[in-house]
Amino acid sequence: MQINLKASLALALLLQATSMVEARGINLHWLWHNHCTECHGHAGDFARKFLNVSNGELQGVHHVHDLREFMRNHYLSDNDVDAIYNMLLAQASIPPRFKEECSSCHNTAADFVSNSLELRDGVLYGRKTGAPIRQFLSHHRKLNSEDIEFFMVQLSRVANEVFRP
């Protein structure tokens, strides 16, 4: 009887987790890490080294004209193809400032967002303090207003990739 109770509880947790994934979407960084990293490494490094942005479109070295079709052939759903494409496009379009300026304390931006931030009604908050991140950044490492805006845009983008609607 106890085994059935444990099995029922495990099934209930699995169903709850599955419904949460379907409702929110899969964390893109988790998806990349578990399906792409082995061959392609970190998404940001891959995007900056092997992809180009031309006229607002992402192009691969080998797949210049239809990178999305190539990604579909890598067993991603259409929803995930578009999301990964947009993530790589953003990463190929910006300098790796988080990696260069923040990773010694915060690891990757995705890890930092996953472990330390919350996204509520489109606003980023610190998990420990409950304070808005923009407010925190105004006193962090002597960042100027341009730096704060840069990191807010990047952290917000990553949060929407991690906590997908």
Is 134 in contact with 155 (CB distance < 8 Å)?
no
Taking only the tens place, the pLDDT of each residue in 27-57 is 999 999 998 999 999 999 999 999 999 888 8
HSE (side-chain half, CA atoms, 13 Å) at 37 = 9
Q: In this predicted model, what pLDDT tens digit does every residue of 53-107 receive, in sequence order?
A: 988 889 888 766 788 888 888 888 888 999 999 999 999 999 999 999 999 999 9
- Per domain, the residue ranges of the chain are 27-93, 96-165
Determine the length of the chain. Answer: 165
